Each structure stands twice: as C-alpha cells, then as structure tokens.
Amino acid sequence: MRDQPIGIALRGTEEIEAAGWHRILEDTLGELTLRILVRRALTQDRAVAVADGWGGDRLRALARGDDLVLVWMTAWDTRADATEFFEAMPDVLPGTRVERRGERVLVLLGPPDVLDGVSARVWARTTSKKGE
C-alpha cells in the first residue's frame, strides 16, 4: 500500500502578488512527473532513485509582464532523499536556486531581487501535513 502524499499549503508569495505578480499556475507535480522531469538530465536508474523518495510537492508560477517566478516546495520521505533531490537539481534545472531544510527542498526560479524576499517568506509560512 502506498503512503498518502504530504499535503503542502504553499504560502509566502502574497507580497509579490500585491506588487503585481499574477498566479498563472498552481499544481502538484507528483512522483511520476518528477521522475519524467529528472530523467531529462539523469540516467534512468538515477532518475528513479531521486523520485522514489518523493513525499509531496506544490508548484506555483507567477508572471508580471514577461517575467516569471517559479516557487516549488517539495517534501521528501527522509533527509537523505531530500539531499539526493537537492544535489540533482542543478543538473535537472540549471539556473534555479535550490535550498534544503531537513526533509524539505525549495526550488526557485526568477529575478534574484524578487527571490530573496520570497525564499524567506515561503520557508516561514508554508505548512505541510501527511495525508492532506
């Protein structure tokens, strides 16, 4: 029997939304989509290993004019799984900012001046719960 995914309530983008950034996408990618994504840059065995520790995720994309911000919080079964994903991400999505805290990994893409504030707020405000 498969575990219930970890539900993530992604928060922390309210300030940039008030500054004119608009949500254009919010979704959960899931283990299969993650495996397909990482397979673009990793071997099949490595992609399976990276995706197998997935516990949950939430992706939000925001746009303002031609600029884009991606905020992707991921949850992992163990710290080792989170570290494996964290270490793979520079090869999978070059140019992203990747931060790890315990079993969580935050992936950010966008203008650096915007990401600085978003990162701290997302870490402080996002909540997660097993089986949500």
On the 0-12 / 13-18 / 19+ scale of CB atoms within 10 A, 49 is middle
Q: What is the mean pLDDT of residues 8-24?
A: 97
According to the model, what pLDDT value does residue 2 have?
A: 59
According to the model, what pLDDT value does residue 132 have?
A: 46
Residues 56, 81 contacting (CB under 8 angstroms): no
According to the model, what pLDDT value does residue 120 have?
A: 95
Q: What is the mean pLDDT of residues 77-82?
A: 97
Q: What is the mean pLDDT of residues 20-25?
A: 98
According to the model, what pLDDT value does residue 116 have?
A: 86
At 80-116, the pLDDT tens digits run 999 999 999 999 999 999 999 999 999 999 999 999 8
Instruction: Report the candidate in 58, 86, 75 with the shortest Cα–Cα distance to residue 3.
Output: 75
Mean pLDDT taken over the chain: 95
According to the model, what pLDDT value does residue 130 have?
A: 84
Q: What is the mean pLDDT of residues 125-131?
A: 90
According to the model, what pLDDT value does residue 1 have?
A: 45
